[in-house]
Amino acid sequence: MNSIFKKHNQYKTFWYIIFYFFSLSTTIASGPNPFPKKIHRIVFIGNSITYAGQFITNIEAYLLTHYPNRRFEFINVGLPSETVSGLSEPNHAGGRFARPDLHERLERVLTQTKPDFVFACYGMNDGIYLPLDEERFRKFREGITWLHAQIADLGVPIVHLTPPIYDELKGKAVGYAAVLDTYSEWLLSQRKTQKWEVADLHFPMKTYLDEHRQNNPDFALAKDGVHPDALGHWLMAKQVLVYLGEKGLDAAEDVQTTLAIHPNGEEILKLVAERQQLMKDAWLTSTGHTRPEMKVGLPMEDARKKAKMIEKQLRELLKKK
């Protein structure tokens, strides 16, 4: 796979030095930049939570309104049901299909998307909704380590995102919340042991849920215990933005609050969501996968034409202040 990004290899050390010192970068006139200037294509890989993608839409809309002179392409190639552990529970999806495994498609994804930067969010499905087990945990660790190596060997920065929480009050998998606690703790430990970049979504979401459930026992961030609602996705987006160095987000209860910086913030958010929906299906269809029952996206050429039209609309809205 190294031949995919041959040109990146000579910059490998350069990128990691930049990334390491990124959080220390000084503020310029328009505020701190969330990525080095040469970062353009930002790829998100993960499972159904990533595929749902509302947190990605929130991040993109935020950066568009706060850094209108930067040009980013946010590519969502999340695939529902997927694991990086390669595991699948017996009779998954009623026996219709086994869980897809990232190992099967990662090379095609990287070949086609050619990322400058990667966010990876796995864990929710990787314990296959069973109690903590050392063999399943080992498979998760091995899968994440393999994924990290595949990206890092290309000289592309990767940030691992700890998985969102599993809510046992709403879900049916007894003991699974503790599994994701353990998986998240391990990921966070890699910051020190392996010098990985890891942004924590899991424990801030857990704290938020616990605090709000004290006053409202029925409060939830995911109706089924797994898939975050709009608030849950905003909490995820907020943690990524904070990780990227954005300030003043503590009191923001939704993305709309942060988009008020621009008079067309709401319209920008809607257009970003429309483009994300269009392109994620096109990317999944183009790169290929083994999961049935997925929407077939437009051919990439057609999808890009439509995306270009949306980009033109966005640029017009951004000019109007």
Whose CA is closest to 164, among 243, 45, 47? 47
Asked if 199 and 117 count as a contact pair (C-beta separation under 8 A), the reply is no
pLDDT on residue 320:
78
Number of independent structural domains in the chain: 1
CATH number of the domain to which 203 belongs: 3.40.50.1110
Asked if 199 and 120 count as a contact pair (C-beta separation under 8 A), the reply is no
279 domain residue, yes or no: no
123 domain residue, yes or no: yes
114 domain residue, yes or no: yes
What is the residue range of 189's domain?
Answer: 2-255
Q: What is the pLDDT along the chain (321 residues), one digit of tens a residue?
A: 544 444 444 444 444 434 443 433 333 223 447 899 899 999 999 999 999 999 999 999 999 999 999 999 999 999 999 999 999 999 999 999 999 999 999 999 999 999 999 999 999 999 999 999 999 999 999 999 999 999 999 999 999 999 999 999 999 999 999 999 999 999 999 999 999 999 999 999 999 999 999 999 999 999 999 999 999 999 999 999 999 999 999 999 999 999 999 999 999 999 999 999 999 999 999 999 999 999 999 999 999 999 999 999 999 999 977
180 domain residue, yes or no: yes
Task: Please give the Cα distance from 297 to 299 (Å, whole number).
Answer: 7
Strand partners, 74: 42
pTM tops 0.85: yes
109 domain residue, yes or no: yes
262 domain residue, yes or no: no
Sign of CA dihedral 101, 8, 12, 30: negative
Chain-centre distance of CA 152, in angstroms? 17
Helix (H) or strand (E) holding 192: helix 176-193
Coil/strand/helix, residue 139: helix
71 domain residue, yes or no: yes
297 domain residue, yes or no: no
